Structures are given as structure tokens and as C-alpha cells.
Structure 1
Amino acid sequence: MRFAAIADVHGNRAALKAVLDDISALGIRDIVNLGDCFSGPLEADQTGALLLLLDLKAERTVRGNHDRYLVEKTADQLEASDAHAHRQMSPRHFDWLRKLPFSMIWRDEVFLCHATPKDDNLYWLETVSPQGHVTLRPQDEIEVLAEGIEQSLILCGHSHIARMVSLSDGRLIVNPGSVGQPAYDDDAPFYHKVETGHAMASYAVIEKTGHGWAPLFRNVPYDHMAMSRLAAANGRAEWASALATGRV
């Protein structure tokens, strides 16, 4: 088995197109999507066109926390990134989001969720200190969150940090990184920044071998400055910086 895992596109059509082209060039046909598809000051409508076409082939997308906000909140309740996406989205985009599962088991071997199995707004592999330091979560805490999952490969997104962690029983958790947002800041649970330090689109190719799962993290260049300029034109300087440099 060989497939690609994408996550956290956040309305960045140009980054998504570059990743899909890279996946195609590798001869990979199967793609799973770990959510947060539209939210951002970019091109939610065009991103949706690509994602819905991709998902027509098989149901293999789970819903992220920002996807949930878009279908659970009214337009006037949304934060800026979600509100921008909401204005661009068509009814078919909302219909698609409503049908997405919180989590799923893909091909009997892979568990998919956006953040953790029970909370779509909690970092699984990272923790944030009161001082705003983002570090690897302690092993015992990671393992507690994985209790009850039988699949040997577990995929999550949400933190935008490409990372993998082996569990004590041999299971593997993989976060493929973010396709469309290489840096951001957040107030919860404490103010912190996530910064990759580069502007490329990130995803993972995962292969099952005779020795177990073998993830390969890939970073794909694209016209990130066009997206940075678009974010700036839409009044989002922090997004413009993140897309241009991978820092905020």
C-alpha cells in the first residue's frame, strides 16, 4: 500500500494544486485528507472545486475544527479566516462539509482524524506551555489519546507540524504537515506561534513495507508569493508573512 496524506489546506488553492501535481508525478492515486479545507483569506471556492473533485473518487476526508465552525456557526459568529471562506463557499461546499465524518478507518488499516480521536481542537503530538513554547508532547500523554485505536497507522493534522511518533506497541502516528499554511499564531491554550521557517506546501507519502509503515515527508515549492499578496490584499498581514516566509 502506498498513498499520500494531506492536511490543513486552508483555502490555499495554489499550494493544493502543486501538491496534487507532485502526487500525480509520483504515480500515487490514493489520497487521504485530514481536514481544515477552506478557512483562510485566500481562495476557498477554487480550493473546494479541487477537493470535491478529488473526493468524488472515494470517501476519504475527515472534518477539521475549522470545517466544523463553517457548518455549525452563523456567518456573523465566525472569526476572520472562517468568515472570508464562508463568503466564497457555495451550497455544495457546505453540503460536502456536513457529510464529512469526525474520524474514519480507511482500508481497515489506517485511522484518520483531524486532531485527536475525541477532540478536533487539541494538538495530539505537541503541547503548549504557559510561556508559549510548542514542544513534543510527553509519550505517556500521546499514548493515552491513542487508547482504543487498533489500526497500526494513525494520521492526524491540526498542528501544521510534520512529525511522526512511534508508540510503545509499534503503532505509528503521523502528521503530514500543512499544505496551505506554513505558520500561524493562536491564543489557545496559551498564546503561541507555529512556524515552519519555509514557505513550501507540505504533505506526506506513506508506504507499507515488510518492516512496517514508512512515511516520507515532502515539501513542494509553488508560487507562494501570489498567495501572500492575496492575503495582504484581503487585509491579513499575518497570513501574508506566514505565506511569504513560514514565520509570523
Structure 2
Amino acid sequence: MRIAILSDIHGNLVALDAVLADIAGHRVDHVVNLGDILSGPLWPGETADRLMALNLPTIRGNHERQLLTLAPDRMGASDRYTDSVLLPQHRDWIASLPESLWLTADVLMVHGAPGDDLCYWLESLDGDRTRAATGQEVEARAGGMAAPLILCGHTHVPRIHRRVGGGLIVNPGSVGLPAYADDHPVPHKVETGSPHARYAIVERTSDGWQAELIAIAYDREAAACAAEARDRADWAIALRTGRV
């Protein structure tokens, strides 16, 4: 079995289209989506339309939860813009998405970590930057969840982690946003250092699950210009450079 993993699209339709085109050149059995799908100043409604038509196995991320539960005056700028343009059918779709999903009996999809869509599972904060989490930190955040393969997103940082007790955790990175600043739980930056759209492919082999992290070029200038048109210079910089 081969699975292509998407996460953290953030309404970047041109990046999504480039990733889907690249996936079409691979033999995969499933394409899955780990959430944080629409939020941002780019093309949230159009991205929803594209994905609704594809009907991929999909879970919600923290931004879908926030769009469904927060009043606009409590939202950040990205959620607030998205909230202003979503149509009723888009809201119904994200409301239908589960928080986690067992794709098969041995493949679990979560957004952050099991039971926590805001958790940086494979990353830890070191001052105002992130670093790879230690094995002990990863297990402390696992909530006792064991599965041969767990797919997670949220941090936008692509990473493959082999658990000491067996099993693989894969974060494919972000399709649509390679860097950002956040203030939860403390102010910090997350930067991949390149503007590529990212996804991953995992394959079940005779030696267990194996993963490949993939970065592809796309028309990032179109995305950056769309961000600038909506007064989001921060996004434009991140999209062009992979830096904050």
C-alpha cells in the first residue's frame, strides 16, 4: 500500500494543484488530508471546492475547529478572512470532518497529536524557534497511542520519526505555507527555509512502513501576490522565502 499525505494546505490552491499533479505521477492507493485546509488570505473557497469534489479521506485541523467555534472578533486575521468568504456548503463540509481517522487498521490520521490538535508532536520549542523533539518528548505527547503508522501535521515541518518501541510517525510538512509566526504557547517562528510545497508518500513494505518527504516548486509568486492583495505582507514573505 502506498499513501500520499497532504497537510496544512491553508487555502493555497496553486500549491495544492502542483502537489496533486506531482502525485499523479506516482502510483498511490490513497491520498489523505490532515487538516488546516482553508485558513489564510489566498483561495479558501476555491480550495474547498477542489477538495470537496475529490472526496479524499480528510480530518479537520485546529483552524477548521476555530472557524466552526469562534466568533469572528476572536479569530486571527487568517481565520477571519476565511470566515468572511466561506459559503454554507463549505462550512457544512468542514463540520462533517472527524478530528482523527483510522484509514486502515494500522494507519491513524491526526492533526497535531492524538487528542490535541494544537500539539507540536515531533517538534519542541527552543526559545523562539523549533527543534526536533526527542524520543522521550514524542512519547510523552502520544497519549499512549500505538499504531504501526501515524500521520500528523500542524507544525508545517516535514519529519519522519521512528519510535523506539516500533512504529513510524510522519509529518509531511505544509502544502501551502512554509513558514509562520505564532504566539501559542509563547511567541515563536517556524521556518522551513525554502518556498516549496511539501507532501509525503509512505509505503508498506516487507520491512514495515517506509516514508519519503517530497518538496516541489510551484508558482509561489502567484500565491505571494494574492497575499499582498489582501494586505498580508507576512504571508507574501513566507511564501517567497520559507522564512518569517
Same fold (TM over 0.5): yes
User: What is residue 44 of structure 1 aligned with on the other side?
Assistant: 44
Q: Does 1:151 align with 2:153?
A: no
Name the % identity: 45
Instruction: Give deviations 1:57-108, integer Å, cap 9, x for gaps.
Output: x5x1111000100011123322110011112211111111111111111111
Q: Does 1:83 align with 2:83?
A: no
Q: Distance in 1 between matches of 2:165 and 2:124?
A: 22
User: What is residue 59 of structure 2 aligned with on the other side?
Assistant: 62
**Cα pair 1:184 1:242 within 8 Å, conserved:** yes
Aligned residues: CA RMSD: 1.2
User: What is residue 99 of structure 1 aligned with on the other side?
Assistant: 96
Q: Distance in 1 between matches of 2:41 and 2:59?
A: 22
Q: Distance in 2 between matches of 1:51 and 1:235?
A: 26
Q: Distance in 2 between matches of 1:145 and 1:171?
A: 15
Matches within 5 A, 1:1-248: 1-55=1-55, 60-129=57-126, 131-248=127-244
Unpaired stretches in structure 1, ≥5 consecutive residues:
none
* TM norm structure 1: 0.95
Shift of 1:118: 1.5
Secondary structure, counterpart of 1:25 in structure 2:
coil
Secondary structure, counterpart of 2:195 in structure 1:
coil
Secondary structure, counterpart of 2:180 in structure 1:
strand
Secondary structure, counterpart of 1:120 in structure 2:
coil
Secondary structure, counterpart of 2:47 in structure 1:
helix
**Alignment coverage as a number of residue pairs:** 244
**Cα pair 1:185 1:192 within 8 Å, conserved:** yes
Q: Distance in 2 between matches of 1:175 and 1:204?
A: 8
**Cα pair 2:36 2:60 within 8 Å, conserved:** yes
* TM norm structure 2: 0.96
**Cα pair 1:126 1:135 within 8 Å, conserved:** yes
